[in-house]
C-alpha cells in the first residue's frame, strides 16, 4: 500500500454554520448522510456502512466550525476533518473536507466525498 496523501475538497453549502455543525458532530446528524448508523461513546464514534463497523476517535471539535476524526486503525498522521468556512462579506457558507488516501485511491475517495456531500445538501434541504 502506498503512502497516503493529504487532499482537501471544498463544497458550497447554503446552510447556517450552527445547523450544519449538528450534521458533522452529532451521531443522529451524521447517520442522516455520512453513514448508515453512527454510535458515540467515550470520544469514539462507530460508523456503520453495509453492516461493517469503522471506529474513529474525535480529535477536535470547535462549535459551529470544525470536527476532526482519526480512524482507529489508520496511520498515525492521517485524519479526516470537516471545517465550516463562512465568508465574512457575503456570509456564504462552504464545507472544507480534508482527508488522506493512497495516490491510487485519491480519485475514488474524492468521488465518495462528492456523493456524500450531495447527499448532505439534500438532507439539509437547501
- Give the model confidence (pLDDT) of 1-56 as tens digits: 578 999 999 999 999 999 999 999 999 999 999 999 999 998 899 999 999 999 99
pTM of this structure:
0.92
Helix (H) or strand (E) holding 99: strand 93-102
C-alpha to C-alpha distance for 69 and 90, rounded to whole angstroms = 29
Domains detected in the chain:
4-124 (3.30.530.20)
Amino acid at each position: 500500500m502506498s503512502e497516503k496523501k493529504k487532499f482537501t475538497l471544498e463544497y458550497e453549502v447554503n446552510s447556517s454554520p450552527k445547523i450544519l455543525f449538528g450534521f458533522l458532530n452529532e451521531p443522529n446528524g451524521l447517520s442522516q448522510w455520512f453513514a448508515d448508523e453512527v454510535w458515540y461513546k467515550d470520544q469514539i464514534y462507530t460508523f456503520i456502512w453495509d453492516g461493517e463497523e469503522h471506529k474513529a476517535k474525535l480529535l477536535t471539535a470547535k462549535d459551529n466550525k470544525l470536527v476532526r476524526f482519526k480512524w482507529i486503525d489508520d496511520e498515525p498522521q492521517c485524519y479526516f476533518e470537516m471545517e465550516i468556512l463562512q465568508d465574512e462579506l457575503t456570509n456564504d457558507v462552504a464545507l472544507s473536507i480534508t482527508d488522506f488516501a493512497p495516490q491510487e485511491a485519491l480519485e475514488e475517495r474524492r468521488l465518495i466525498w462528492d456523493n456524500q456531500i450531495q447527499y448532505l445538501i439534500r438532507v439539509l434541504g437547501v
